[in-house]
Every structure is written in structure tokens, then in C-alpha cells.
């Protein structure tokens, strides 16, 4: 089971006019490399910021000189968005360029040549193993992340809208930042959007056949017992001892909904119980309870609550 991350979001900032210090930072934050630089060393400027936890982070890097280097495998999935300048990366069979306003997916397990043209970059970082666990909800096979551009302009625009939501809304909301379940949902949003935006190579494994009722009962019991933790289809399928695709089919066939929808309903029911037991005179609020159960968008939470229980969450809190 993937435990809900209790590691808080950590924010760091680093600024220097020293080239060597800048590249020591880049080596520690990204990957080992030996830079070849051109440009004005006397007026060199470097700035970097990072807000991250163990599964995802939002970063910014500004480097005033032109840079050529070869970087060792990064390990994490990086999606740089060029704010200014240009970025070219090349692997054994790929040569991908991103100009201002464009992004690319950097392969986590390849040695890559890099050309950096006085760039300012916004960088989205995702833990590769965690993304693979999300991808396993879509396929029972192997997943690979080649160096690539978005599959279409439409998907690229949607990716940018999701990243803007994370950076402008989520990272500025201290209550949401403090909620492990909301952080988990933000990570899943980023991971699933990445899988839809870039040409990920997903190799399907043969189907594992029909799910027996006992496996479905194990899945439901697991969700009921772990709704307060960061679980998804991959973890539920592992607990039920079936494949993710088979589990999805079983939920649809027997319950008429997906495992994710069932999990959301369980969390809504738990929020309902908390609202019934809450005491507004002691500072209990609808927003705090919604955050506890992973409902970051309080308007959508209120609509879902009203649809299920026929009243607003505020009415339940105050009754």
C-alpha cells in the first residue's frame, strides 16, 4: 500500500552570481554534469526556487549564460516549460527543442545532451515510481517515458492549465498544503494529465480473467479500511490480488461505478460523519473537514454533499 505522505511541502530559494556555486546547486538538484559555458561571466546571474514533497514539486530556474553539457540519468520525471530563451535535449534517437511557451518531457533513465540558451524555466517534477503506480491503473504492462513533446497542442494547453492551477491555487493555499489527501490528489491529477499529454509507451499485458466475488469484497474492504490514506486503483488491486484493469471491470459490472468513484463516496460519507460530530463553537469548520478528506475544491464538495444528503454541509455542521 502507498502510505499517505506526511512529508510537508518544502520551499527553498537559491541565488548566486558565482558560476561554480550555481552548477553545484544544479548537480545536487538535478544530475551530475560538466558544463561548457559561453557568455558574460562577469554579469552572470542564477536563481532557483523549489516547492516540493516526495512525489511532486514545482520549480523555477534562471541561468543567464548559454550552456552545453551531457547530463546523467535524472531519475525523476521532469517537465520543463520554457519561459524565456530555449532548451534543446537529445538522446540516442531523439532531438527535441522547446522554445518560449513550450514544454517537453525529459526521460528519467537516459543520458542526455543538453543545450541551454539563456533560459528561464518552470519545471514540474514527478517521482517516476509514483507515476508508474498511477499508470498501472491504466495498463498491467510496462511503462516507459521517452524524451518527447506533447501529443497535440490541445493536450499541451490542458497540461499548462493544470500546472497553473497547482502553482496559483494549490501552492498559495496553506490549508490545502497541509492536507496529505489533497496533496495526494494533486499528485494524481498531475500524473494522469502527464500520461494523457505526452506519448508514454505503455505495453499491455494479457488480461488476468474474471474477478471472483471474493476479490471484489477484498477490494471494498480495503477501501473502507484505508479511505483516510493515499490509495488508488493500483493499491486496491494489489490488496484484492487482481490486476487493475480486471478490478475496474469488476466494479463497473457489479456496482456500476469505478473504484475511484467508490473511494470518493466513502470519503464523502466520512466527511458527513465528521460534520455530524463537529462542534462549530470549538472552531470546527466545513473547509477543515473537507480538506481532511481530500476535497480541495470546497464548492464541488458542497455540491456533491448536497446531492448525496439533500442539505448543505454547513447545515449539517450547525444542526
Q: How confident is the model at residue 62 (pLDDT cuts 50, 70, 90)?
A: very high
- Of the pLDDT bands very low, low, confident and very high (cuts 50, 70, 90), residue 123 is very high
Q: Which of 205, 238, 265 lies at the terminal end of a domain, its last residue? A: 205
Do 219 and 107 share a structural domain? no
Residue 119: predicted pLDDT: 79
Do 310 and 161 fall within a single domain? no
Band the pLDDT of 139: cuts 50, 70, 90: low
Q: CA of 77: how far to CAs of 73, 153, 155, 221, 305, in Å?
A: 10, 21, 18, 33, 36
Residue 313: domain span: 213-318
Same domain, 218 and 117: no
Domain boundary among 205, 235, 261: 205
Among positive and negative, which fits the CA dihedral 119, 124, 130, 133?
negative
The one-character DSSP state at 134 is H
pLDDT at 177: 86
176/37 same-domain check = yes
- Domain CATH code at residue 112: 2.60.120.10
Q: Give, in order, the Cα–Cα distances in Å from 170 to each of 165, 179, 182, 248, 272.
A: 7, 11, 9, 29, 24
Specify the pLDDT at position 296: 84
- How many distinct structural domains can be found in the chain? 2
* Most confident residue range from 21-25, 181-185, 207-211, 218-222: 21-25
197 & 253 share domain: no
Are 291 and 185 part of one and the same domain? Answer: no
β-pair partners for 62: 47, 120
Say whether both 31 and 173 belong to one domain: yes
- CA-based R_g, the chain, Å: 22
Do 196 and 218 fall within a single domain?
Answer: no
pLDDT value at 200 more than 50: yes
Please give the Cα distance from 116 to 180 (Å, whole number).
36
Q: Helix or strand or coil: residue 295?
A: coil
Distance CA 262, CA 251 (A): 9
What percent of the chain has pLDDT above 70? 93
Please tell me the least confidently modeled range out of 7-11, 27-31, 298-302: 7-11
Whether residue 124 sits in one domain with residue 70:
yes
167: Cβ contacts below 8 Å, ≥ 6 apart:
58, 122
End-to-end CA distance of the chain: 37
Q: Residue 220: is its pLDDT beyond 60? A: yes
- What pTM did the predictor assign? 0.76
CATH code of the domain containing 288: 1.10.10.60
Of 176, 205, 234, the residue that ends a domain is: 205
Give yes or no for residue 3 having a pLDDT over 60.
no
Chain segment 162-179, per-residue pLDDT in tens: 999 999 988 888 888 888
Q: Please indicate, yes or no, whether residues 172 and 252 belong to a single structural domain of this protein.
A: no
Q: Are residues 110 and 237 in the same domain?
A: no
CA pseudo-torsion sign 54, 81, 31, 193: positive
- Looking at the fold, whether 18 and 106 belong to one and the same domain comes out as yes
Amino acid at each position: 500500500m502507498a502510505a499517505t505522505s506526511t512529508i510537508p511541502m518544502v520551499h527553498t530559494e537559491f541565488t548566486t552570481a558565482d558560476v561554480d556555486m550555481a552548477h553545484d546547486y544544479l548537480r545536487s538538484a538535478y544530475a551530475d554534469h560538466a558544463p561548457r559555458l559561453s557568455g558574460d561571466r562577469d554579469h552572470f546571474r542564477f536563481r532557483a526556487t523549489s516547492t516540493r514533497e516526495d512525489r511532486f514539486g514545482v520549480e523555477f530556474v534562471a541561468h543567464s549564460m548559454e550552456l552545453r553539457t551531457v547530463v546523467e540519468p535524472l531519475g525523476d520525471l521532469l517537465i520543463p516549460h520554457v519561459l524565456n530563451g530555449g532548451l534543446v535535449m537529445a538522446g540516442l534517437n531523439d532531438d527535441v527543442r522547446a522554445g518560449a511557451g513550450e514544454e517537453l518531457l525529459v526521460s528519467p533513465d537516459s543520458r542526455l545532451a543538453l543545450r541551454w540558451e539563456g533560459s528561464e524555466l518552470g519545471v514540474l517534477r514527478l517521482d517516476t515510481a509514483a507515476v508508474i503506480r498511477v499508470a498501472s491503473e491504466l495498463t498491467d504492462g510496462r511503462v516507459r517515458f521517452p524524451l518527447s513533446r506533447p501529443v497535440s497542442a490541445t493536450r499541451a494547453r490542458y497540461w499548462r492549465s493544470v500546472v497553473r492551477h497547482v502553482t496559483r491555487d494549490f501552492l498559495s493555499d496553506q490549508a490545502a498544503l497541509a492536507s496529505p489527501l489533497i496533496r495526494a490528489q494533486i499528485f494524481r491529477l498531475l500524473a494522469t494529465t502527464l500520461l494523457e499529454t505526452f506519448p508514454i509507451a505503455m505495453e499491455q499485458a494479457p488480461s488476468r480473467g474474471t474477478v471472483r466475488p471474493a476479490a471484489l469484497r477484498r477490494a471494498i474492504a480495503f477501501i473502507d479500511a484505508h479511505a483516510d490514506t493515499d490509495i488508488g486503483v493500483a493499491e486496491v488491486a494489489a490488496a484484492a490480488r487482481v490486476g487493475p484493469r480486471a478490478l475496474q471491470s469488476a466494479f463497473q459490472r457489479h456496482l456500476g461505478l469505478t473504484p475511484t468513484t467508490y473511494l470518493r463516496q466513502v470519503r464523502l460519507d466520512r466527511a458527513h460523519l465528521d460534520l455530524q460530530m463537529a462542534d462549530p463553537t470549538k472552531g470546527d469548520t466545513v473547509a477543515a473537514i473537507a480538506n481532511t478528506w481530500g476535497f480541495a475544491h470546497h464548492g464541488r464538495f458542497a455540491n456533491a454533499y448536497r446531492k448525496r444528503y439533500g442539505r448543505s454541509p454547513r447545515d449539517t455542521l450547525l444542526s
